[in-house]
Structure formats: C-alpha cells, structure tokens
C-alpha cells in the first residue's frame, strides 16, 4: 500500500514506497524516480493516480541512493550531486551514478518477475535525467521512459532501441 512501510533495501536504495495489485500478480511495473532534494514520497500522488488507472501494475516510488548534499540534514535525496554542476561535468556525474540506478531497476524487475518490455520508468527532473540516460545506455532496460521536466545529460545520436520515450515539460 502506497505510503505504508518501505518495501526494503535493494541495490543500495534506502527504500521504496509501493502500491501493489489487490489481487493476483502484477502485469506491469512502474518505477517512479524523484527530483534532486526530494524523496520517494514526492512521487506518491502520481503513483496513486497510476495505480487507479492500472490496477494490475506494481507502482513503486524509489528513493535516490544518496543524501542531498546541498542541504544536509533536511532528508532529501539525490541521484548525483549538483554542487558545482556544469554542462561539462554533468555527464560524468550521471555516468558514475548510472550503475547503481540500473542495478536498482534490474533488482526490482527480478523481485516482481517482470520483463523489461512491461517496465516503465517515470522520472521527474534529476530522476528523468537518470531514467533517460539509463535507457540510452542499457539495452532492454525498460519498454517506456516518461520524463517530466528532465533532459539528457548528453544528447544522444540515436533513439534507444525498442524503448518508447515520452518527454514532458
């Protein structure tokens, strides 16, 4: 149930808030990734709406792997640091964070026995950057990426194969 106890720790995540189908196994996996300085809780409203529209989906809001270092002690999280961020150093920071992000997606797919075409990555801002870059770098990671107010860290020269990308701003 969304907003209840965390689902646990997988691949370095602190916790995941989940909404699972009332009956039977999920037939879709929706993973929601928040923006910098936020937490999994900030994606709860979208998760609740998705769960209403797709009652057989497992809908999970995932906390970023690191504490938000620009405002220590406030409880926010980050996928990569934004302190001193520039267009020149952003790609390296994203690339450094990508293995943990991809491992998180793969671990949740394994946990729910969900294949990549039935997985959708929803990202907001920094979470959108991570979702877009992960789908670009990792073949067969997700069937869809829905990016809200995000961008690529490095503009790709081709679309990810077999992944539908939705950019919303």
Q: What is the pLDDT of residue 6?
A: 44
CA of residue 130 relative to chain centroid, distance: 7
Q: What is the pLDDT of residue 14?
A: 54
H or E element that contains 6: none
What is the rounded CA–CA span in Å between residue 82 and residue 61? 22
Average pLDDT across each block of 10 residues of the chain; the chain has 169 residues. List them in order: 42 72 95 97 95 96 93 87 96 97 96 97 98 96 98 93 94
- Beta bridge mates, 127: none
Q: What is the pLDDT of residue 13?
A: 53
Closest to 59 in 3D by CA, of 49, 69, 47, 71: 47
Strands 144-148 and 66-67: unpaired
Q: Where are the beta strands (DSSP E) in the chain?
A: 16-19, 28-33, 57-62, 66-67, 77-78, 119-124, 144-148, 164-168
Q: What is the pLDDT of residue 16?
A: 85
Residue appearing with tokens 């729910």: 112
Q: What is the pLDDT of residue 28?
A: 97
Q: What is the pLDDT of residue 17?
A: 86
59 with 30: CB under 8 angstroms? yes
How many CA atoms does the CB half-sphere of 20 hold within 13 Å?
14
| Residues, the chain | 169
Q: What is the pLDDT of residue 12?
A: 52
Q: Directed axis angle between helix 90-111 and helix 126-137, to 10°?
A: 80
Q: Which DSSP state fits 34? A: P
Burial class (CB in 10 A: 0-12, 13-18, 19+), 155: exposed
């Amino acid at each position: 149930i969304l907003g209840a106890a965390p689902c646990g720790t997988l691949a370095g995540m602190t916790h995941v808030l989940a909404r699972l189908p009332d009956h039977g196994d999920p037939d879709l996996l929706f993973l929601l990734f928040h923006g910098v300085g936020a937490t999994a809780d900030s994606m709860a409203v979208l998760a609740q709406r998705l769960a209403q529209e797709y009652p057989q989906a497992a809908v999970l809001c995932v906390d970023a792997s690191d504490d938000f270092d620009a405002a220590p002690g406030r409880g926010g999280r980050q996928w990569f640091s934004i302190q001193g961020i520039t267009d020149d150093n952003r790609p390296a920071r994203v690339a450094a964070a990508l293995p943990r992000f991809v491992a998180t997606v793969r671990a949740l797919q394994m946990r729910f026995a969900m294949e990549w075409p039935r997985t959708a990555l929803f990202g907001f801002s920094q979470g959108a950057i991570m979702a877009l870059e992960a789908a670009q770098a990792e073949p067969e990671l997700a069937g869809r990426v829905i990016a809200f107010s995000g961008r690529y860290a490095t503009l790709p020269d081709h679309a990810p194969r077999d992944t539908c990308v939705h950019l919303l701003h």
